[in-house]
Amino acid sequence: MLKKILKYMIAIALVCYAAFAFVYIPLMDNDNRCKGVLVYIEGDKMEAMSREGIMDMLEKEGLAPLGNHVDSIVCGRIEKHLGNLSIVKECQVYLSTKGYVNIDIECKLPVLKVVENSGRTYYVDCEGDIIEGIEKALYLPVATGCITDSMASRELKEIAKAINGEEFWNAQIEQIHFDESRDIVIVPRVGDHIIELGKAEDVKEKLQKLYIFYHKVMNTIGWNKYSKLNIEFNEKVICTKR
């Protein structure tokens, strides 16, 4: 009799355990999985990056953390992959105590679009860093002509620094063309003329001189009187009549 009772008790205990395992263990297992991914993007004024784009990228690389066990998520791998993107200035990836993966990204700011004679296209920031892989069209001044990668840290950087944050020049400059001697010709959006800048030296000072000339002279006599403005030389704007 005692054996039968013991068998019944064991059977009941097994049924209870099975019910517990069926209901609660999956819930406990889910508590150990990534519940979501929080993406914070700083400094992306051009909206060149998006949460959706980042998630798609991680999915393609097999690094998407959503739904995975937190113990299997290597934040360092995600951080390294995103940090290698040329538009990313700094990246931090970490797991919160509530089971969320946090991705904090600080972006570089594209200032110039560059189209080399070879057809290669990329962007440059004001530090002279080359930024590639941006699929969204960014409406920025375009540098063309005889351009090489090595010019990004010199000539292109000088120009990018001069127009960075300058609303007037970002709106006015349409094209910056380098000839074979690396002399620069600027094609403006407003006014039927070209601007001869010379070498990429003292660009900010040259543009400031032109800005004053625009407001003191061109606003008075009209923007189509001259076919060419040369601002290469100190304190001079040499004008060629149409």
Domain ranges of the chain: 36-107, 112-241
Q: List per-residue pLDDT tens for the chain, 242 residues long.
A: 555 554 555 545 444 444 444 444 444 445 689 999 999 999 998 889 999 999 999 999 999 998 899 888 999 999 999 999 999 999 999 998 889 999 999 999 999 999 999 889 999 999 999 999 898 889 999 999 999 988 999 999 999 999 998 999 999 999 999 999 999 999 999 999 999 999 999 999 999 999 999 999 998 998 889 999 999 998 889 999 98
Confidence (pLDDT) at 17: 47
Q: Which of 237, 119, 112, 202 is nearest to 163 (CA)?
A: 112
What is the three-class DSSP state of 91?
strand
Confidence (pLDDT) at 235: 81
pTM for this model (two decimals): 0.80
Q: Which CATH class is domain 36-107?
A: alpha beta
* Pairing, β 194-198 against β 142-145: unpaired
CA distance linking residue 155 with residue 185, whole number of Å: 13
CA angle 121, 134, 180 (to 5 degrees): 15
What is the three-class DSSP state of 113?
strand
Task: Kindly state the DSSP code that residue 110 receives in the 8-state scheme.
Answer: -
CA distance linking residue 2 with residue 155, whole number of Å: 95
Rg (CA), the chain: 30
CA distance linking residue 80 with residue 77, whole number of Å: 5
Q: Which CATH number fits domain 112-241: 3.40.50.300, 3.90.1300.10, 1.10.15.40, 3.40.50.11690?
A: 3.40.50.11690
Backbone angles phi, psi at 235, to 5 degrees: 55, 20
Q: Which of 97, 98, 85, 88 is nearest to 41 (CA)?
A: 88
Confidence (pLDDT) at 12: 55
Confidence (pLDDT) at 234: 81
